[in-house]
Structure 1
């Protein structure tokens, strides 16, 4: 989940299967027992920390990456991805007990995911038959944002869910980036986002001090089970 070094701010980190290494300061990070993460500086003894502390440090050192142009912070990034759409759900039971739902993903191939301005787009690589597919949505059309260990999931209206597996970049970076873009987008209409997953919940600034009934949900109507955070590839728990 670390895409920027929480010690020196270098971006990106080299990571694989629970380990990450910073080419700038030489610090390595690896998963310990439970929630413990072990940081191994190049010039000192190992240190024990936890994910929340490291993620907070990443945000202080620049987060997902924002560049400044003419004095204005702009969100813009692109990454190579494997792209698919959830076409249905299978019920998973064990000894008669409902364990969760497995999403059936129709993979569309590889392409380029890009966030720029108020648009999130995918341009798919040209296929062997000479055809190509694309995907695009505006920030205001997004109803939910969540990640698994390997993928970002975006939910649009009517429970349309799309999954993006990153070939080189970090799904955690893209979750942070899209959530930051949505926070700024809704702030322009005086709304604060309280939740992003499994559904975006937002509250108008004027209602926040006295609102006791919760925020305004952007969930769309559907007969399919509402998506929840994944516990594995293409699977989510109860």
Structure 2
């Protein structure tokens, strides 16, 4: 009888833990929510010390495993809706999306600088990577951060390094070819002194021929690989 009670007790504990885990997966928990809110407070104090901001209660998003907070600028009469800030991570939560920054980006200047950077990078990388098909650059510039007539240069100092998206022609390539191409790209960026946060590469198959009246079309994504500045690329990084 005593043995049965022990078994029942263990089963009840396991069931309780299972319910708590299930609840936490979809609703979060008070501890992680509090830690996330504190991380957000520190972030706002560091990045927007002159703004009078109020954080509303956070909501857990189980899809992305993060907390979303509405942040209200108490002195901005023109903006009626709150800013949305998201925080991700349990032991060391960090802000994963900053709507205040996003709302103040200089879209026109960014578009021009992106095109200038893409043109320069494509010219340089094409000399070393014959399978290079296209390149897109994402540079974020907050309004007032740079002069309107500033020209692109790899020495241009924004507060955040650029992201780079690259498409390779892998129609006749295998994993090793794609890995070698990625390594070449990383070496060129390093040797030329480009500052970047992340490079994403899609190696696609194409159909058709490039002619005056016809352009090749992407058929399918064959491989993909990404790297940061300090990544030591291996064949297993290519998926």
TM-score category of the 2 structures, normalised to the smaller one: under 0.3
Structure number with the higher helix fraction is 2
Looking at CA atoms only, which structure, 1 or 2, has the larger radius of gyration? 2
| TM-score normalised over the length of structure 2 | 0.25
Q: What TM-score results when the alignment is normalised by the length of structure 1?
A: 0.25
